[in-house]
Amino acid sequence: MAQYSRIEVANVMKETGMVPLFYHPNIELGKKVMKACYDGGARLMEFTARGDFSFEVFLELNKFALKELPGMIMGVGSITDAGAASMFMQMGANFIVTPSLREDIAIVCNRRKVLWSPGCGTLTEINRAEELGCEIIKLFPGSTYGPGFVKAIKGPQPWTSVMPTGGVTTEESNLKGWFDAGVTCVGMGSQLISKDILANQDYDLLKQRVSDALSLIKSLRK
């Protein structure tokens, strides 16, 4: 069962401004990645469940977070149907992220008051997601739409909270563009947790990159 309500998760997303995204089939490597992100200041982690037996990996990582990383909020991404969402929520997922708007997923998550963030690409999809109770919209793929899209929709809908994923980097110019446009937070995967970091197992570098990104986001919001 989730340890955090959807409102609590949404508040942490707003406060920190960044959700690291990560998937790897190796559980021990995953624990080290999580610890580095946690030590760098991250308090959210989206496990992108894209591989075979990914539920087994998430289960162990979430147990590790609950035991060793107090305050770390684990969620699951790349969820495409209600059955998968329900299964991961049984394993304690605190939020569910989807690549597209799925009303069946909205229903099962709302039943448990678990935050769900659907991938949306049109104002109509965004409106429908909010009608279904969505707190934070996932703009996906962010690289296709860009900060200009966010700025445009925030005009008539200043209440809409947006988290772009895809096309977000650690560069100041990139993050400034997104946050100046009015995003609530950003999702960052390989641009933050790179293949080189994983290959070299350079967890100190990962910790520093997370810390630097969070500090930069904080300064851009002032």
Strands 44-48 and 18-22: parallel
48-68 per-position pLDDT tens digit: 999 999 999 999 999 999 999
Q: Which amino acid is at 2?
A: A
Q: In the predicted model, what is the mean pLDDT of residues 66-94?
A: 98
Q: What is the DSSP letter of 183?
A: -
- Predicted confidence at residue 222, as pLDDT, reads 82
Q: What is the pTM of this model?
A: 0.96
CA distance 172 to 170: 6
